[in-house]
């Protein structure tokens, strides 16, 4: 009879887990055997994500609130003892318009959610992963196609996502001594509520409005699970996924 110790399921935190890509990614990780803590503003939406799946921890959290974020990650460690994976997914499109038409409050709110919220969660995860034993873990930040090539009229969103790329690269460098592996997934036109209008028409750089294709977000979940299952001696610094016929190459 085998005397080997039973394997312990890996643990994960997913932000923005109450809808869209966060919901699909969370379900993918749960189905793949991860224990997942769901962070998001609306507890009822997080419960809907979980459904009848086991291995979850629902923690209503505003990722722009540093105290709330610290409490959420402390709850994860209290429940499971360690953190193996953070998927930073919470985000907002923010205001649409040229720079002089964007209010300062809307700009700040977009930066708070997309950049500061991502930083706060990375900050907590980094500290946990550095101190735990065995040391290390993986962080996957959700960037965007707009982290490379912006859409017209989305100055706040594009700036925030470009900044997330810088954050990802910096954390990847700083995490090397501690086996903290940091990468980014950049997604274009996954079919979620945020992109629901693209099939009817999206504004193009030449001022026209044209329908754009989308793709099943389940493929994003598959990609995240594949990244999450890799050993920590393998890094995926950047992974781009997009609907194959959407405007990207030559965009603008």
Please report, for the chain, the start and end positions of each structural domain, with discontinuous segments joined by +. 11-242
The predicted structure's pLDDT at residue 1: 39
How far apart (Å, rounded) are the C-alpha atoms in residues 224 and 87? 8
User: In Å, what is the CA distance from 43 to each residue of 14, 18, 110, 124?
Assistant: 14, 8, 22, 21
How far apart (Å, rounded) are the C-alpha atoms in residues 182 and 170? 9
Any catalytic annotation for residue 178?
no
Catalytic residue among 54, 157, 178, 248: 157
Q: Reply yes or no on whether the pLDDT at 39 is more than 50.
A: yes
User: For residue range 202-225, what is the model confidence (pLDDT) as tens digits?
Assistant: 777 767 777 778 889 999 999 999
Contact, 135 vs 179, CB < 8 A?
yes
pTM of this structure? 0.91
Q: Give the confidence band of 151 by pLDDT, cuts at 50, 70, 90.
A: confident
How far apart (Å, rounded) are the C-alpha atoms in residues 22 and 25? 5
How far apart (Å, rounded) are the C-alpha atoms in residues 93 and 111? 10
Contact, 140 vs 183, CB < 8 A?
yes
The predicted structure's pLDDT at residue 5: 42
Contact, 209 vs 202, CB < 8 A?
yes
Mean pLDDT of the chain: 91
How far apart (Å, rounded) are the C-alpha atoms in residues 137 and 129? 6
- Homologous superfamily (CATH) for 11-242: NAD(P)-binding Rossmann-like Domain (3.40.50.720)
Q: Beta strands of the chain (E only): which ranges?
A: 11-15, 35-40, 56-60, 85-88, 137-142, 180-188, 202-203, 209-210, 238-242
């Amino acid at each position: 009879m085998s005397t080997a110790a039973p394997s312990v399921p890996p643990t994960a935190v997913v932000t923005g887990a109450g809808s869209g890509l966060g919901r699909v990614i969370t379900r993918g990780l749960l189905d793949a055997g991860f224990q997942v803590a769901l962070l998001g503003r609306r507890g009822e939406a997080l419960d809907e994500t979980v459904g009848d799946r086991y291995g979850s921890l629902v923690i209503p959290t505003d990722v722009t609130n540093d105290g709330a974020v610290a409490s959420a990650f402390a709850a994860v460690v209290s429940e499971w003892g360690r953190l193996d994976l953070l998927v930073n997914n919470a985000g907002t499109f923010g205001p649409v318009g040229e720079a002089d038409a964007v209010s300062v409050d809307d700009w700040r709110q977009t930066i708070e959610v997309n950049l500061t919220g991502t930083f706060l969660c990375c900050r907590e995860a980094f500290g946990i992963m550095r101190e735990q034993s065995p040391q290390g873990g993986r962080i996957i930040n959700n960037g965007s196609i707009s982290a490379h090539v912006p859409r017209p009229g989305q100055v706040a969103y594009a700036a925030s996502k470009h900044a997330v790329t810088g954050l990802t690269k910096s954390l990847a460098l700083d995490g090397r001594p501690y086996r903290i592996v940091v990468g980014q997934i950049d997604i274009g036109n996954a079919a979620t509520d945020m992109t629901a209008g693209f099939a009817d028409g999206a504004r193009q750089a030449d001022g026209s409005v044209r329908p754009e294709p989308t793709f099943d977000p389940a493929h994003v979940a598959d990609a995240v699970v594949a990244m999450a299952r890799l050993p920590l001696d393998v890094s995926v610094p950047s992974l781009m996924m997009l609907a194959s016929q959407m405007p990207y190459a030559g965009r603008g």
